Structure 1
Amino acid sequence: MTIAALAGCADPTRTGVSGVETSSPPTTATHEPRLVDESDRPLVAFDPCLDIPDDVLVTVGYDPKSEDNADFAATHYTMLGCSYDGTAIIPGVAAYGLTVMSANFDWTIELQKVADNGDNVIPTEILGRRALRKTNHSLPESCGMSVETSYGVLIFAQVLFGKAGARVPEAQWCTGLEDTAERIVAVLDDVESRTR
């Protein structure tokens, strides 16, 4: 069973350079979204594949080299996303993964989706932003978190796989996800402050 193994996201603005390439400090300019829908919704300002620093992923227990593209192309909204394999050793857990999706539908639509899915929801806040922690018994061993953004919603989905076919207890489904969301939302804060 593999969660994600391919590196699927690349900066589309980079081009091949002949000769010697010198390193330069990261730019603070905003980048063009990799996908743009046909609606009049805002552009997705935060791209998980391009904007989450490797050191943040490592700190929260994910392997940046396992990055796998998880975009969802639609004509009426945009979802940019990436998935990552977990690296920490967790008792009773054989493997785990994280998908981060950045979408340009608004909070009202996210609330309706959550209601339609029949999720068990706990309203909360992440760094002063409205957020929802979500579980669903039809999707055992997984936990989700939605965080409101200036352009839409940032969605986190964590999935765990128990050892030797045993189920991970429900009390562990969301372990670590809030800390992961806080650290990535801190990066989102910086990106949004540059795009205002």
Structure 2
Amino acid sequence: MGRWGIVALAALAVMGTACSPGSADDAAVGDETATTTTRTPRITDDSGRPPVTFDPCYDIPDDVMNAAGYDAAKKEIADMPMGTHTFLGCTYDNRDHIPGVRRGYGLNILSGNVTFEEERAKNGHMATETSIGGRRALLEINPADRNTCAYVLQTDFGLVIVSRLYYADHAGPAPQSEWCAGLIELVTKIESFIDK
């Protein structure tokens, strides 16, 4: 998963009290969305990097996430302004698994102004280059991060990372072949909402 992913997971631990996108701020964001085609980013930095224009908590329709098994009503904002770069984050949790019957997942979607090349230079040792919807992408599987799979999509402003933690439906870690099972379908849907 690498440094951005580790930062993301650390932020998730801290963001236990994060505000949900269902707050009063949504009314302003919703009104702005209704009157303009481009939303002003919630967070910017002073790095000179491009602003992050894809907001995973607001630009992915709730019905898409609900259909994928994530309760969009319980999504949480998990932003990470870092001065030298910015990540807008959104987390979903689906732990309603039944042992031996149904799995659960934790999902983190990060949209940041770190470049695809920076990510590839940092995590190329555990990444496979691919393409999703005609967009350059990386599939990142780090054997040290058990039960975790991530797709990194190149964007005009930087990248979008979709990282999923697999909650196995049995004791012990899941086989590595199951870490990414079915994730590509969701990533493909998410990709379609990112400006080309």
- Structure having the higher Rg: 1
Match of 1:70 among 61, 64, 78: 78
Whether 1:105 and 2:114 are equivalent positions in the alignment is yes
Runs of 4+ in 1 over 3 A off after TM superposition: 3-7, 10-13, 25-28, 87-94
Equivalent position of 1:147 in the other structure: 153
* Matched position secondary structure for 1:163: coil
**Residues 59-99 of structure 1, C-alpha deviations (whole Å, 9 max, x = no match):** 22211012112211100111001011237868565421111
- Give the superposition deviation at 1:12: 3.4
Q: Which has the higher helix share?
A: 2
Equivalent position of 1:36 in the other structure: 44
**Contact kept in structure 2, 1:92 and 1:162, CA below 8 Å:** no
Question: Partners in 2 of 1:130 and 1:83 — Cα distance?
Answer: 23
Equivalent position of 2:91 in the other structure: 83
- Give the superposition deviation at 1:113: 2.2
1:169–1:7 CA distance, 2 compared to 1 (3 A) = farther
Matches within 5 A, 1:39-188: 39-86=47-94, 94-115=103-124, 118-119=125-126, 121-188=127-194
1:133–1:139 CA distance, 2 compared to 1 (3 A) = same
The alignment's C-alpha RMSD in Å is 2.8
Q: Which has the higher strand share?
A: 1
Paired positions, count: 178
Q: TM-score, normalised by structure 1?
A: 0.79
Q: TM-score, normalised by structure 2?
A: 0.79
**Contact kept in structure 2, 1:12 and 1:34, CA below 8 Å:** no
With 165-174 and 143-152 compared, the bigger mean Cα shift is at 165-174
